[in-house]
Amino acid sequence: MSVTLRIDVKGVQDALAKSDLVLKYVDGALAAGALLIQREAVRAAPKADGTLHRNIQTGRLQQLLHQVNSRAAHGVFVERGTGLQGPQRRASGKQNLSPQGRANIASWIARKGIQPRPGVSAERLSWLISRSIARKGTRPQPYLEPANTPANARRIADLVEKAMQRGITEAGLG
């Protein structure tokens, strides 16, 4: 799951063809735009244990192409949900949570201070919750897509325009 930022405007492409300095500044503006999206995604990400928001990062794929994504393995499942509520349901209609997944649930139960009913062990409660997740799935909790707002797109466009003007001025092209 990622948000990709690409510049694809004729005027910008023409100016960039004229100067490496303009290219450098515009690429820097896109990197700043990716950081803006990253901050919004981190703010919107659920904070169960911090793994998700610590793994939201920016990356430069190539000149003028930057992305924001999550390296957390469960990032896509948080963004889109699972099971009946998300696209990750298997064709068989069943999902099994791994022992590691059950261990994560046990850790979550402990952090939340959830106490099992009398006669139910912590392991049994963890298994019951994992079974419920396998049967019902989890609801989507989008954090990346909502960060890619029209307001942020305008802010990034402003950054790119200012960077382009600065590069053109410094290169003596304007």
SS3 4: strand
What are the residue ranges spanned by the domains of the chain? Answer: 2-76+141-170, 96-136
Compare 111 and 35 and report the one with higher pLDDT: 35
Distance CA 42, CA 53 (A): 5
Residue 93 has pLDDT above 50, yes or no: no
SS3 73: coil
pTM: 0.72
User: What average pLDDT does this structure show over 94-115?
Assistant: 76
Supply the mean pLDDT for the chain. 83
* Long-range CB pairs of 137-140, under 8 A, 24+ apart, other chains included: 137/81, 137/82, 137/83, 137/84, 137/85, 137/86, 137/88, 137/89, 137/95, 138/77, 138/78, 138/81, 138/82, 138/83, 138/85, 138/86, 139/81, 139/85, 140/78, 140/79, 140/80, 140/81, 140/85, 140/86
pLDDT value for 174: 66
Residue 128 has pLDDT above 60, yes or no: yes
pLDDT value for 134: 80
Each residue's pLDDT tens digit, 48-74: 778 898 999 999 999 899 999 999 988
